[in-house]
Chain A
Amino acid sequence: MKEIMVEVIGVDPPCSLCKQTEKNARNVASKLVEEGVKVEVTKLNITSKEIISKYGVLMSPAIAINGRVKIMGKVPDVGVIERLLREVL
């Protein structure tokens, strides 16, 4: 079984856009977990040096899946995140 790592990258303290993004990601994750997929969602700080040296300059909020930024500067719907996660399954 494959494991998916989802990183929600936003400002800290989170603004409402980041919160919504994280919530959507967690909803999809729990759905996939029920199907037996291993999904781990973490929230990261976009202004931290580690994140910037890993991903470069990003627009908030962003989502990285398995270490690659797939979405930035917008709040993806649950459907969009689900599609992205199923692609890497």
Chain B
Amino acid sequence: MERKRALKTVLMLGFVFFFIVMMIRAIIGAYTLTPTSTAEDLKALPLWEIPLVYIWDYAQHGWVCLGFAFTVSGLFAEFIPQSFMLQYMSSRKPISYLVATFIAPVFCVCSCTMVPIFAGLIYAGGGIGPALTFLLAAPANNILADVITIQVLGWQIALADIVSAGISAVVIGVIVSKTPWGKKFEQQSKSNPKQVDSVDLVKQPIDERLWNALKFGGYLAKRIVPAFLVGLVAVSYFQAFFPSDLVKTYLTGAFGVVLAALLGGPLYTPTLIEVALGKALVDLGMKPGATVAWLMGQPYDVANSLSTSRIVGWKIVITYGVLAFVCAVLSGLLFGLIVGGL
């Protein structure tokens, strides 16, 4: 029994290290993990072949990156001490904003963990501020989105997205918590403090924990990869046929930033597809400033807004939607000015 456990642990660690080593090798070797097909390559193909070639191109380069992202997401979800983090986030101290921005979202890959934490923070008296910060930062700052954005769009854009999404999330959280309707909502939703000893998590042995981590990674892959493939089919046609003149005219300059921020929002796209579509737009001529604004459009997409409005009401959703749009535009402009790519 003990030997079987040890063997299982070694096998699983081997699997994890395989992806870590492959990823490091790819980074050191500056080996591209994104599709290399250009619009010209794709256009020359028969219609039915375009998505196949594009996906094959993606799969050849992307499997290391995806495998790594899913494995690491699973590990983070399992090994980051959750109770500790939840306690900090609901502490009503300034540090709760920090935890809500940069630490908590790292392991929250799926919306069915985000919404409960959001609601939990509010009802447990953590305040609307940190709860909103968490909700806004999570789609941009989770480990899966980070790894993919870095690999597909490059570390500069990814870093700009992570930092500006984080700062915007805090700013928006603080502002909303100061509005009259934000304050009113906080007062209404305060509930009793919980019983202290009601949470008493079991400690599982390491082989079970690793298995949990890999299982969760697998679950994410199963949920995300099919949608991602559908997205890639769309992106492949898009890249082949969307007129690049249009992108070069409208998705550049200050106007491009505003337009990208507008388009990035209501389009309900999972982060990974948004990144892939962003890549296609960049290849067609979208400028870095507009790209950052495009990526930051996520928090105010329609589906997310609907589910949060059920908890906090429309007034707060509209407030943070407008603020998120303003932040996306400002970040895009700022990034464009800094790198000289407006």
Contacts and interface: CB of A to CB of B under 8 A. Distances in A.
Q: How large is the interface on A (under 10, 10 to 19, 20 to 34, 35 or more residues)?
A: 20 to 34
Given A53-B123, A84-B202, A11 B116 contact: yes
B287 to A, nearest CB: 38
Given A47-B115, A72-B82, A56 B194 contact: yes
Contacts of A38: none
A59 B219 contact: no
A75 B215 contact: yes
Interface of B: 77-78, 82-83, 86, 89-90, 110, 112-113, 115-117, 119-121, 123-124, 126, 189, 191-195, 197-202, 204, 208, 211-212, 215-216, 219, 223, 311
Contacts of B90: 56-57
A70 B198 CA distance: 9
Q: State the 5 A-B residue pairs at the shortest beta-carbon distance, nearest first.
A: A57-B120, A56-B194, A15-B112, A47-B119, A52-B123
B215 A54 contact: no
A74 B216 CA distance: 8
Among B189, B199, B201, B216, the most chain A Cβ lie within 10 Å of the Cβ of: B199
Interface string A21-51: 0000000000000000000000000110100
Given A57-B126, A59-B82, A11 B200 contact: no
A76 B42 CA distance: 46
A57 B124 contact: yes
20 contacts: A15-B110, A16-B219, A18-B112, A47-B120, A49-B123, A49-B191, A52-B119, A52-B124, A52-B194, A53-B194, A56-B194, A56-B198, A57-B124, A57-B126, A59-B82, A68-B200, A71-B202, A74-B212, A74-B216, A75-B216
Contacts of A11: 112, 115-116
Given A17-B112, A17-B219, A72-B82, A56 B202 contact: no
Contacts of B216: 74-75
A20 B240 CA distance: 41
Contacts of A64: 198
Contact of B86 (A16, A17, A57, A80): A57
A46 B198 contact: no
Contacts of A73: 77, 82, 113
Contacts of B193: 53
A43 to B, nearest CB: 14
B119 A68 contact: no
A68 B199 CA distance: 5
A59 B121 CA distance: 11
Given A49-B123, A52-B119, A60-B116, A74 B198 contact: no
